[in-house]
Chains A and B, each alone.
Chain A
Amino acid sequence: MKKITGIVFIFIVCAVLSLTGCSNAGSRKNTFTFATWAAGVELQEFNEIINRVNQNADGKYKIEVLSVPSDYYIKLSTNIAAKKAPDFFWLTQELISKYAKMGAIADITDKLESSSNLTREQYYPGVLQSAIYEERCYGLPWIANPLIVFYNQDLFDEAGIPYPSPDGGWTWEEFIDIAKRLTTTKEDAFGNNYKQYGYVVDGWPNIETFIWAGGGDIIAENGVDVLLDSQESISGLAILNKILKAGISPSYSEVSSLGSNNVWFEKQRAAMFMGGIQDNFETKVNAMPENEQFRIGYAPMPVGLDNRSHSFNWTASTVMSKQVADNPLAYEIMETITLEFFKWKIAPPIKGEIDQVAKINPLKAPALDTIQICLNNARSANYVPEWNEINNSLWLKLYSKMLNDPDFDYESEAKAIAREARELIAKRK
C-alpha cells in the first residue's frame, strides 16, 4: 500500500511541477515554431531561409516550420483557441487589427522603437501602417506589393497611342480615354471576330482603389469614423461606374470565361491591367511562343481627384504570439527572419532596397523607376477589427452589383453600408 501511495505522490509532484513550468515556459524556451501558408516551391524557399537562420543562430535558438497550406486562418485560430498558437506566424494586413483586438498577437511597438537593426523609419510609411492598430505596432511587414499599371506596348503602337509616362501624372479621365481608344473589334487567325478591351475590372482592383481615386476612403485613419458615404467616396464610385458604363472592360460574367482577369492581359485581350508589382507577366510572356510575345510597359496608378496617385498595397506581416512576448529571444528571431524575407520577396517593404527587386527578378529591371513611385505611393485601407464584415458588404451589396448592373444605384447602397459600418463600429468594446 505504501508503495502505491509513494508512486501516486511522485506522480502528483511531477504533474504539479510540469504544469507550473508551463506558465512561464514561453519566456525561457529556445525552440520556436513559425507558421506559414507557403506551399510547394514557396515552402522550399521558406525552409531554406529558416535553415540559414538556424545555422547562423549557432544553437542559440532553433526555429521549426509549421506549414499550413490550406485553411490557414481556420487552423491558426483553432490552434490559438487551444492555447497552442505558433510562436510566430504570417498574418495578412486585413487581420492585424482583429487579432490585436482579440489579444492573440503581441504588441511589439517598444521593441521596434528600441531596435537599430530594423527601424520604423526604414519602412515605407504606407506599408508599416497596415501593421498598426490604435497607434501600436503588431507586426513586421515582410513584403510590399502595390498596384502598378502594366500595359501592352505593341497594342499602344498599333493604335497610335503614346505610352503613359513611367513617372505617372496621368489622370483617371485620361486613363479611361486611352482605354476607350484601345477597345476595338479584331479578327483572329481563323477569321473570327473578337473584342480587344482597353482594361479589365471584375472586382479587381478592389473597391478601395476607386474610392481613393475620388479622394475618399472607407474608414478614417482614426479607425472609428466611416467615410464611405462622403462626397469624395461617392465621386470615386462614380469613376468606377464610368469605367463599367464605358464598355472598356469585358463584362463581369465574361472575365471568368478566360480563367481569371490577368489572363486577359496575357492573351492580349486587354491592353492594360492593374496588378501588383510582384505579378510575373514578364516571365510568362518570355515563355510564350515568339509570335505571341509582346512588350510590357509600366505606369504608376492614375492620379485621383485629390491629385494623388494611390497604389493599393497588399502586405503581410510576421507577428508574434503573446505566449512568447516575454522571451528575450523572440523579437530578435522575428526581426532576423523578417530581414531575411526582404531578400526573398518582391518588393522589400523598406526604403533604399529597390535594386533588390532586379536582383530577385532581373526581368523587372526596366520597371524599377515606376515600381519606386508605386512603393512611395503604397497604402492599404484603414483596417479595423470589423473590416471583414464591412468588406463583405462592400463586395456583395455594392461592388458585385455595380459589376452586374451599370445602372445600379451605388450611392444609396454606399450610404446604407456606411450606416451598417457605423453600427458595427459602435458595438466595438
Chain B
Amino acid sequence: MKKSKVGFLFILPWLTGLVLFTVIPIIAALFISMTDWSIIGDANFIGLENFKAIFEDQMFYKTLLITVRYAIFAIPLTIFTALLVAISLNNQYKGTGVFRTIFYMPSIVSGVAVAIVFKWILDPNYGVLNSLLGILGITGPNWLYDPDWVLPSYLIMAIWGASGGLYIYLAALKDIPKELYESATIDGAGLIHRIRYITLPMLTPILFYNMVIGIISAFRKFTDAYILGGAGEEGIFYMVYLYGQAFSFYKMGYATALAWILFVIIFSLTLIVNYTKKYWVYSE
C-alpha cells in the first residue's frame, strides 16, 4: 500500500469526525439560518429574512453593545492581570509553586460554580465584597442589581479568572534568553526598563495569541451571564440572547442567523488584529 494511503487511513477517524460533527453542521447551520425553523415544526426557506429582521431588532444592537463594551474592558484587563501575575511568579522563591497553583485554580473551576460563588460575593447586602468595603467605610453598590454596576461586576469576575493564561506567559517568560537581561543590567537598565525593552517585546507573540483568544471568549461570554443575568437587560450578552431565541422562543432559524453574524464579527476582528501584527508583534 502506498505511504500516502496508509497516512490517510490513520487520519480517517479524525476526518470522519470533522466531516460529521463540524463540516456538515456548518453547512446545515448556513441553511437553517435561511429558514423559519422552530426546532419542532417544519423548516420553510425564507432567504435572508432572518438577517433582515436581525438588523431591525433593537435587542440585537443592545446585546451586541453590552458584549462589545465588556470585550473592550475585559480583554486588556485580563491580559494585563495575567501578565502581571506571571511576571511576579516567574522567579523561584519559597512558596512560588503554591501561588502558581492558587492563581491557576480559577481556570479549572466550573463556570457554573464560579457564577454561584460570585452571586454571593456580589450580594449587595450580605456579600463579601460589600462587607469589605463596609470595613473601609464605603457603602458598596448594588452590583448586579444596579444597571450601572452590571458591567463592573462582570469585569471583576473576568479579572478573578484572568490567570487562565498564566502558564502560557510563564512558559514564554522562561524562553526569554537570560543573556538579554544580563546585558541590559550591565548597561544599567533597571527593572522597569528590562520589562519595557526586553520582556514585553519578547512576549508579544503570546500577547497576540491571548488577544485573539480573548476576543473570541469575550464575544462568546455565556455561562456566568446566563446564570447571573443583571439588572433589566444589562446582563443579556449576545450569546445569552442567541440562546434564548433558540431554546426559549423556539426560533432556531433566527438564532442560527445570529450565530453567523457573531462568526463574521469575530472573524473580522481577528483579521484586523492579525493585520496589526506586523506593527507590534516581535518575530525573529
The interface of chain A, by Cβ under 8 A from chain B, is: 73-74, 77-78, 80-81, 98-99, 102-104, 252-254, 256-257, 388-389, 392, 396-397, 400-401, 404
B124 touches A253 (CB 8 A): yes
Chain A interface, DSSP helix/strand/loop, else mixed: helix
Q: Which of B35-43, B102-110, B182-190, B266-274 contacts A (4 or more CB under 8 A)?
A: B35-43
A400 to B229, CA, bound (A): 11
Question: What are the residues of chain A within 8 A of B249 when measuring CB–CB?
Answer: 388-389, 392
A77 touches B125 (CB 8 A): no
If A102-B250, A392-B244, A400-B231 touch, whether A256 touches B40 (CB-CB below 8 Å) is: no
Q: Which of B5-13, B139-147, B166-174, B206-214 contacts A (4 or more CB under 8 A)?
A: B139-147
A103 to B40, CA, bound (A): 8
Most buried by B among A103, A253, A400: A253
Question: What are the residues of chain B within 8 A of A396 when measuring CB–CB?
Answer: 232-233, 236
B61 at the interface (CB under 8 A from A): no
B39 touches A81 (CB 8 A): yes
B247 touches A253 (CB 8 A): no
Residue of B142, B147, B236 touching A253 (CB-CB under 8 A)? B142
Question: What are the residues of chain B within 8 A of A104 when measuring CB–CB?
Answer: 40-41
If A102-B38, A104-B40, A392-B244 touch, whether A401 touches B124 (CB-CB below 8 Å) is: no
A80 touches B39 (CB 8 A): yes
If A77-B40, A102-B250 touch, whether A404 touches B147 (CB-CB below 8 Å) is: yes
Most buried by A among B41, B123, B126, B250: B250
29 example contacts (A-B, Cβ-Cβ < 8 A) are as follows A73-B247, A80-B40, A81-B39, A98-B250, A99-B40, A102-B38, A102-B40, A104-B41, A252-B145, A253-B123, A253-B124, A253-B142, A253-B145, A254-B124, A254-B125, A256-B123, A257-B124, A257-B126, A388-B249, A388-B250, A389-B249, A392-B244, A396-B232, A396-B236, A397-B232, A400-B231, A400-B232, A404-B145, A404-B147
Query: Tally of A-B residue pairs with Cβ under 8 A?
Result: 57
Residue of B125, B146, B247, B248 touching A257 (CB-CB under 8 A)? B125
A401 touches B232 (CB 8 A): yes
As a 0/1 sequence over residues 122 to 166 of chain B, the CB contacts with chain A under 8 angstroms (1 = contact) are: 011110000000000000001001110000000000000000000
A73 to B119, CA, bound (A): 26
- Minimum CB distance partner of B236 in chain A: A396
A273 to B88, CA, bound (A): 53
- The list of the 5 closest CB pairs from A to B, nearest first, reads A253-B145, A102-B41, A102-B40, A257-B125, A253-B124
Instruction: Using C-beta atoms within 8 Å of the partner chain, give the interface range for chain B.
Output: 20 to 34
Residue of A99, A252, A388, A404 touching B248 (CB-CB under 8 A)? A388
- Minimum CB distance partner of B245 in chain A: A389
The interface of chain B, by Cβ under 8 A from chain A, is: 38-41, 119, 123-126, 142, 145-147, 231-233, 236, 244, 247-250
A102 to B37, CA, bound (A): 10
A99 to B39, CA, bound (A): 11
A404 touches B124 (CB 8 A): no
A73 to B244, CA, bound (A): 13
- Minimum CB distance partner of B243 in chain A: A74
Question: What are the residues of chain A within 8 A of B233 when measuring CB–CB?
Answer: 396-397
Query: Closest CB-CB distance, B179 to chain A, in whole Å?
Result: 57
Question: What are the residues of chain A within 8 A of B244 when measuring CB–CB?
Answer: 392
Question: What are the residues of chain A within 8 A of B236 when measuring CB–CB?
Answer: 396
Question: What are the residues of chain A within 8 A of B232 when measuring CB–CB?
Answer: 396-397, 400-401, 404
A78 to B123, CA, bound (A): 36
A104 to B40, CA, bound (A): 7
A257 touches B123 (CB 8 A): yes
A253 touches B41 (CB 8 A): no
11 additional contacts (CB under 8 A) given A98-B250, A254-B124, A388-B250? A73-B247, A77-B39, A78-B39, A80-B39, A80-B40, A253-B123, A253-B142, A253-B145, A256-B119, A396-B236, A400-B232
